[in-house]
Amino acid sequence: MTATKQVTTGRRRAHLATGVPAAAIGIACLAGAFFVLPFITLLVDITWSDLPHLLTSQAALDALWLSLRTSVVATILCVILGVPLALVLARTDFPGRTLIHSIVLVPLVIPPVVAGIVLIEAFGRRGLIGEHLSAMGIDIAFTTAAVVMAQTFVALPFMVTSLESHLASGGEHYERIAQSLGASKWRTFSTITLPLLRPGLISGAVLTFARALGEFGATITFAGSLQGTTRTMPLEIYLARETDQDAAVALSLVLIAVAIIVIAVAYFRPTKSREGTS
């Protein structure tokens, strides 16, 4: 029975492959090599015997721990803010909707340094909002909170776009039926809309976390680089590159490994599940 399944799966894959032009396969191989070769080069350049020493320095541990905890907080904030925002943008029509939607997606295309300047102009000590907060004794810029805000600002669009695609693909029919049967809007949202959004929520959270983990430009502009307070792993890698190339390569490997593990866990699907859905 197992052999029959393997033959059937093999035939199915062969059938799918026949529809792919040879030129497309060749270009796909080049694209794959373009992505894979730099990582292989990184592995070759590492002095593996020095790796434990390079990764256990206090600066490296502080930067890794700070990056992980701020990225987790930023991801949680993106979920809390992104779900209602995506729902409003996808399901409602109001004056200025296109403008608001465009502004929400702007961090996807502007340089991260520009995002940092925008944040410091708004929440810095002399910023439009930050000036009033500073008068009350609340300073955000160059603190750990600034790191989280910078990560949230650049990562939130990933959550919104991921959820919007799932909201646009369906679910309104079931929601209308639930409301016609007497369910409140909140109950409809919590029992129907949210479960339907689960795939988009998972993929959005993964992309958000990965983006927050790798954030550099907005962080260094808005939060600075203070060890243990605002110096995340990307900033530590940047500083290490100027003084110790081996340390920069080793820290880069850690950041890549964490990102790969997070994405692999989130997108892993058992073989049986994939075969059952195909």
Note whether residue 6 is domain-resident.
Answer: no
- Say how far apart CA 262 and CA 68 lie, in whole Å: 12
Note whether residue 16 is domain-resident.
Answer: no
Question: What confidence category does residue 277 fall into, taking pLDDT thresholds of 50, 70 and 90?
Answer: very low
Least Cα distance to 63 among 155, 147, 142 occurs for 147
Section 196-208 average pLDDT: 86
Residue 5 has pLDDT above 60, yes or no: no
Question: What confidence category does residue 19 fall into, taking pLDDT thresholds of 50, 70 and 90?
Answer: confident
- Say how far apart CA 235 and CA 246 lie, in whole Å: 15
- pLDDT the model gives residue 270: 57
Least Cα distance to 235 among 261, 227, 57, 150 occurs for 227
Query: How is residue 171 written in tokens?
Result: 């679910």
- pLDDT the model gives residue 152: 96
Assign residue 192 the CATH number of its domain: 1.10.3720.10
Q: What angle do CA 174, 178, 182 make, to 5 degrees?
A: 165
Section 230-250 average pLDDT: 88
- Say how far apart CA 277 and CA 249 lie, in whole Å: 41
Question: What confidence category does residue 274 fall into, taking pLDDT thresholds of 50, 70 and 90?
Answer: very low
Question: What confidence category does residue 72 fall into, taking pLDDT thresholds of 50, 70 and 90?
Answer: very high
Q: What is the dihedral of CA 177, 179, 183, 185, to 10 degrees?
A: 130
Query: How is residue 48 written in tokens?
Result: 């593996």
- Say how far apart CA 23 and CA 27 lie, in whole Å: 6
% of residues, the chain, pLDDT over 90: 39
CB proximity list for 11: less than 8 A, separation 6 or greater: none
- pLDDT the model gives residue 18: 59
Least Cα distance to 115 among 147, 70, 82, 68 occurs for 147
% of residues, the chain, pLDDT over 70: 84
Per-residue pLDDT tens digits for 138-197? 999 999 999 999 999 999 999 999 888 777 766 666 667 776 677 777 777 777 777 778
For residue 89, the tally of other CB atoms under 10 A from its CB is 21
- The count of domains in the chain is 1
Section 59-81 average pLDDT: 93
Owning domain of residue 252:
58-269
Note whether residue 136 is domain-resident.
Answer: yes
Note whether residue 51 is domain-resident.
Answer: no
Section 39-53 average pLDDT: 80
- pLDDT the model gives residue 47: 76
Least confident of 31-35, 82-86, 168-172: 168-172
**275 vs 65 pLDDT, higher one:** 65
Note whether residue 89 is domain-resident.
Answer: yes
- Say how far apart CA 83 and CA 271 lie, in whole Å: 30
Note whether residue 277 is domain-resident.
Answer: no
Query: How is residue 197 written in tokens?
Result: 């959004």
Section 50-77 average pLDDT: 89
Residue 10 has pLDDT above 60, yes or no: no
Note whether residue 242 is domain-resident.
Answer: yes
Q: Which helix (H) or strand (E) holds 42?
A: helix 22-45
Cβ atoms of 141 and 123 closer than 8 Å: yes
Note whether residue 163 is domain-resident.
Answer: yes
Least Cα distance to 260 among 268, 249, 270, 272 occurs for 268
Least Cα distance to 259 among 211, 196, 224, 227 occurs for 211
The residue type of 265 is V
For residue 47, the tally of other CB atoms under 10 A from its CB is 11
